[in-house]
């Protein structure tokens, strides 16, 4: 029998050894909730990383991170513009409706699951400015997008300017923010820069990148912090042993492990992509590949031990992770090329 | 300087070594969310423990566990009867209002933060049966209570019968359920038995008892399971690496570690109690002590290295944990006796 | 100056004289809320009208009627399938998100703003049956639709069977239910019959048909009544002088005034339609006309004293009401024909 | 048989003739919703009445008025301090939990169902300033209170100053505001004046005072208006023939009919009170009387044709209305005196 070479998802990958170390090191008494020494370091560490004053709070999931952040910009009677295929619309079980108390997701179109000012305007310009129609309060973009595409500086600036001009908040779902930043040159600040400054909030994902159960809600709007602190508790997301979450995140920031892990995953994706000429549905910019493959071709790959998800009838999705073995990625690229 | 002897809270104690082992052992690829092999074991393991068909789902906090369970019994326009000093009323940041979509907590009185049929009836009997007043849909009790008191079999049967007779759901907040069960003789089934069967749901706490970040929502009503699964996701509580949570819980159940840990904490509490004659505000049945101590007395104890919280102006709260050192407990008991 | 001939909307038309009489007749002391004699008649009167046991409750708006009814079928974590152009999606200011506590509207396609099993299946069949995606709990159709189109018996049966087969609730928004029933032959029962019986709930509109401020929530599911009663109060919709609302509705039912008024409005619409050959965007089945008209043509009509709304760049919407003067309708038809 | 002399409640009294006239006068085409000429007058008319810039919106019930106003001051994670016997707590079916998305009512004590800085402080000062406890965001007082008691200028100033010092919003439930103002000398401005200015919002009741189905939400905070407009629609409270509600309110303001009606009701109450020496549970300041009466005494009064509600075991509640006949009031006073 063939050993499994896993390309299913980065969301189930093992935890990085340095995070285990950090968590074990946190295994001594400290204040509960976020009163511990590690949690107290977060604001400063993220401020350093982004070169911009910000607050950072741990939560256990990206869903919670996105929704808590959006809650600072969206009133219950308002709406959030997102892409029709955005994770918050398609894969969060209606969490935005819950956390935002019935606010509405407003679905825009855009190539590669990315939004542009044009796409957003096409959606919201026809909305009558009256009480019968839900008004947009914020925009949510995903960096990297649900198709593994990134927003470059110009694209971010355009969306950011648009948001400002319409007085809309701007949130970035960064479940794979590290992979996007790695692709864009390695600067977290740049990958989250909107127009004149950063996005209003960022859900900075670590779990898919070697973490166990900690993401960061990064808030660049100081006025938003108190609300998120209260609502994190109210949503049952204030863990009493929060130091283990803080430990994970700090270990990720130490020596830019977050970036190294993402670079490794991205490199593996490029290795695979090298064999996918003519088959790619989307440019490979992060660690996901969407590849045209017939059922018979997928069958053949699975027979060789590659594990992955179907993507519709004629394609497959491959995801690399921080710990994808280079030989597995190379083998997959070759196997696809050989089909 | 005196070494700190910590009696602040069990909620910040270290993680038990067996849980670390179990989490590390889970560090290989498996299905994400709760599709992994460990999560799949939970239903059967809790069914075995309680001798009664049930479903068990992990979540990261007791707040989430309580609120998700209550959601199965309480409509948004209904209410939950709980004690005036119940954790869900006093210390969960309004989470029930959020998870239950605006349902109301209805506050009953009772000695030791415990409810009785009489106390509940005194609250709800005057409620007019009309649409102008919120009607109770469920009762929530805490085992052990916020004052470390337990419900014995007769008390549970009484509350359970009352709930049935009024067609009210019955939820048990078991943040320190293990400590209660340990005091009551060691049977989980008995500590959660209501009238003719178990309570409808139990938030079985592990975090205060040596866990890191996993509690179990135990549902004895099979009709309630689907709702909790959907709403766990909707609340951002479906972690993608859920196997690490399942691993913690399974390790706690292995060889009844949950019980051994609770017995150790309870024993330490008794050790302390031995020195508190005439000073106890509440009988010590679990691992919490509420002790009359003047400011000067507290000062004296702190000078000896004991760490604990004030409880109002004239008292202190001491909490023991699974890893409280026997010598620390004995020392504290003696120190109090010597005051 | 030309006298205005109003075709803007039926929603601002005068109140029918018989309703004024009925309200004045109600101007004597009676029990508050819905404890009065008139409110007490509603269940029986609607049961008679539909030939089927039902409960009927007054509310002040169609938005409230729709949302209260949907609340009986849709859990907060579920969804409601409706047409992309349904009033509940487009024109109720996000009310479904509020009343349903964050449940989601799921937008299907269909000609004439009508739904069919095929259109609904195309939307919901791709939804994965897992907790990451919101599951549909109900279907909402509009009779007559937002384009003035009606569901005939076969169409209703098809949607009803589909709803049953998928275990989905079925609600009918009947803001212009009377106009639909008038077109379909005058039977309220038939216009609301789904598969083996009536829809689960109907928002039976009276305001656009000569009422002042009373619609009826008609519930054919006896299990749903209590919830609506509680939630009507909870939504601030239980008026203390409810007898004036009941009086309006009863006056509408007396001698089938509801039907006569709708027939009058429909007849006026046909009068207009007679002049619109080749210009109609939708078949005229109720009391709304969507007519292709250039800006210049609209200008010309307005110069003749006709008042109406633009509908996009190249069309106009005309709505007739119970009190549209026959001569105005005939004049409009002729004026359009003469363009 | 004795003719009924009704003292049950003012909430079911007949509609004042001038309001009927005004509604009939509104029975000509105008813009729907609140786009009509009458609704457009409201802001200016209330601004004139209060001598202070404000916005005023009609809604159909006091429950909606209170909850929409509170929504401008209270975040979903916050709380509203009100009296333990406040209408919003006891008699609105949980509406605040719904409109405020799960925010909490925090129950303070106070004589006559009135709040004072001391009573509020006693409740909120013990609240820890941390995320585990719901923080108050606003105070709601009732003028006149649920026991028919009024807040005089000094009392209002004290509560207003307290609210300011704690940065809490201040809402006034004025279901019987007219009766309070009448008692306090007839000035609406004075009856709603807090510290340096008016309360932040007032639910100005007209229905109990001769209206049919229209109350006013009066907003003295210009920043709050947009939210209430959107949320009124979202709550299904934007009636399409809103001009009939505006007509009622304007007729009430014309010639200070609101005040004359309240003065008449208050005078009738005083007439009754004249016979209640030694029996009153609360000073009679508005139009409600709470009178100690044994069951036998109540029986005797009912045998004479007086209709009223029991109030607990040993008392009764009598309410006078704008149209209580002077002879009935006098007769009741005498009948009680004669017991």
List the domain boundaries for chain B.
5-13+262-337, 17-256
| Spatial separation of the C-alpha atoms in residues A206 and A174, rounded to whole Å | 9
Look-up of token digits 């929704």: A67
Count of beta carbons in the 10 Å neighbourhood of residue B297: 17
pLDDT value of position C5: 85
pLDDT value of position B4: 78
Question: In Å, how far is B161's CA from the nearest CA of chain A?
Answer: 30
Q: Residue A259: left (phi > 0), alpha (psi -120 to 50), or beta?
A: alpha
pLDDT value of position A1: 42
Intervals of chain B under pLDDT 50: 1
| Spatial separation of the C-alpha atoms in residues C234 and D66, rounded to whole Å | 12
Contacts of D317 in chain C (CB under 8 A): none
Q: Is the pLDDT of residue D1 over 50?
A: no
Q: Which long-range contacts (CB under 8 A, 24 or more apart) does D41-46 make?
A: D41/D246, D41/D250, D42/D216, D42/D246, D42/D249, D42/D250, D45/D250, D45/D253, D46/D204, D46/D216, D46/D218, D46/D253
* Chains in contact with A, where contact requires at least 3 CB pairs less than 8 Å apart: B, C, D
Q: What average pLDDT does the segment C215-242 reach?
A: 97
| Spatial separation of the C-alpha atoms in residues C114 and C147, rounded to whole Å | 9
Output DSSP code: residue C3. Answer: P
Strand order in the sheet with A201-204: A55-59, A215-219, A201-204, A169-174, A135-142, A78-83, A104-108
Contacts of B233 in chain C (CB under 8 A): 131-132
Question: In Å, how far is C173's CA from the nearest CA of chain A?
Answer: 17
Tokens coding C216: 């009826």
Find out if CATH 2.40.50.220 is the number for domain B5-13+262-337: no
Burial class (CB in 10 A: 0-12, 13-18, 19+), D107: middle
Q: What average pLDDT does the segment D282-295 reach?
A: 98
Question: In Å, how far is B103's CA from the nearest CA of chain D?
Answer: 6
| Spatial separation of the C-alpha atoms in residues D332 and D308, rounded to whole Å | 11
Query: Percentage of chain C surpassing pLDDT 70?
Result: 99
CB contact under 8 A, D131 and A230: yes
Q: Is the pLDDT of residue A3 over 70?
A: no
CB contact under 8 A, C100 and A103: no
Tokens coding D43: 């802001």
Residue of A13, A28, A63 with shortest CB distance to B14: A28
Query: Percentage of chain D surpassing pLDDT 70?
Result: 99
User: Per residue, what are the HEC states of C118-165?
Assistant: HHHHHHHCCCCCCCCCCEEEEEEEECCCCCCCCCCHHHHHHHHHHHHH
Fold of B17-256: 3.40.640
The residue of chain B nearest to residue C229, with distances taken between CA atoms, is B131
pLDDT value of position B36: 97
CA distances from D230 to A78, B194, D176 (A): 9, 47, 26
pLDDT in tens, D177-207: 999 999 999 999 999 999 888 999 999 999 9
| pLDDT class of D24 with cuts at 50, 70, 90 | very high
The residue of chain B nearest to residue C75, with distances taken between CA atoms, is B227
CB contact under 8 A, D98 and B91: no
Q: Is the pLDDT of residue C1 over 80?
A: no
CB contact under 8 A, C132 and A94: no
Residue ranges in B237-290 assigned as alpha helix (H) = 243-253, 257-273
CB contact under 8 A, D92 and C60: no
Instruction: Tell me the backbone φ, ψ of residue A335, rounded to 5 degrees.
Output: -65, -40
* CATH code of the domain occupying A17-255: 3.40.640.10
CB contact under 8 A, C98 and A77: yes
What is the model's pTM?
0.97
Residue of C8, C32, C63 with shortest CB distance to D9: C32
pLDDT in tens, A42-70: 999 999 999 999 999 999 999 999 999 99
CATH class of C5-13+257-337: alpha beta
Per the CB < 8 A criterion, the answer to whether C268 and C320 are in contact is yes
Find out if CATH 3.90.1150.10 is the number for domain D5-13+258-337: yes
| Spatial separation of the C-alpha atoms in residues C69 and C217, rounded to whole Å | 7
Tokens coding B150: 């337990």
CB contact under 8 A, B93 and A59: no
| Spatial separation of the C-alpha atoms in residues A171 and A217, rounded to whole Å | 10
CB contact under 8 A, D230 and A77: yes
CB contact under 8 A, B77 and D100: no
ipTM of the complex: 0.97
| Spatial separation of the C-alpha atoms in residues A27 and B19, rounded to whole Å | 12
CB contact under 8 A, D233 and C63: yes
Residue of C9, C95, C212 with shortest CB distance to D244: C212
pLDDT in tens, A134-177: 999 999 999 999 999 999 999 999 999 999 999 999 999 999 99
Q: What average pLDDT does the segment D92-120 reach?
A: 98
Tokens coding B245: 């949570």
| Spatial separation of the C-alpha atoms in residues A86 and A107, rounded to whole Å | 9
pLDDT value of position A2: 52
- Calculate the average pLDDT of chain C: 97
Of A4, A38, A236, A242, which to mutate for an interface test with B (greatest number of B Cβ within 10 Å)?
A236
Contacts of A15 in chain B (CB under 8 A): 27, 241, 244
pLDDT value of position B3: 59
Question: What residues have CB less than 8 Å from D237, skipping those under 6 apart?
Answer: C60, C61, C64, C236, C237, D59, D60, D64, D68
CB contact under 8 A, C77 and B227: yes
Residue of B97, B131, B133 with shortest CB distance to D97: B97
């Amino acid at each position: 029998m063939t050993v499994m070479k896993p390309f299913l998802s980065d969301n189930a990958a093992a935890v990085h050894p340095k995070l285990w170390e950090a968590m074990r090191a946190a295994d001594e008494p400290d204040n509960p909730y976020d009163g511990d020494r590690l949690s107290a370091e977060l604001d400063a560490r993220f401020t350093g990383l982004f070169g911009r004053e910000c607050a950072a709070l741990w939560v256990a999931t990206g869903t919670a991170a996105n929704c808590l952040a959006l809650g600072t910009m969206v009133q219950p009677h308002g709406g959030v513009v997102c892409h029709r295929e955005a994770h918050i619309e398609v894969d969060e079980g209606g969490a935005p409706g819950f956390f935002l108390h019935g606010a509405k997701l407003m679905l825009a179109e855009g190539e590669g699951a990315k939004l542009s000012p044009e796409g957003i305007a096409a959606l919201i310009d026809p909305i009558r400015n009256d009480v019968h129609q839900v008004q947009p309060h914020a925009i949510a973009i995903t960096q990297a997008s649900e198709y593994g595409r990134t927003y470059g500086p110009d694209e971010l600036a355009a969306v950011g300017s648009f948001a400002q001009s319409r007085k809309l908040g701007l949130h970035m779902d960064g479940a794979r923010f590290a992979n996007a930043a790695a692709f864009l040159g390695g600067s977290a600040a740049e990958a989250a820069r909107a127009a004149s400054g950063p996005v209003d909030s960022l859900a900075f994902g670590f779990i898919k990148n070697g973490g166990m159960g900690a993401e960061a809600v990064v808030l660049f709007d100081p006025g938003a912090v108190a609300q998120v602190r209260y609502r994190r508790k109210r949503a049952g997301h204030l863990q009493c042993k929060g130091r283990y979450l803080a430990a994970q995140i700090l270990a990720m920031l130490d020596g830019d492990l977050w970036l190294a892990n993402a670079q490794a995953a991205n490199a593996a994706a490029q290795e695979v992509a090298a064999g996918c000429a003519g088959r790619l549905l989307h440019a490979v910019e992060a660690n996901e590949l969407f590849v045209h493959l017939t059922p018979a071709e997928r069958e053949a790959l699975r027979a060789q031990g590659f594990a992955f998800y179907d993507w519709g009838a004629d394609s497959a999705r491959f995801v690399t992770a921080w710990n994808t073995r280079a030989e597995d990625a190379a083998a997959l690229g070759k196997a696809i090329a050989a089909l």
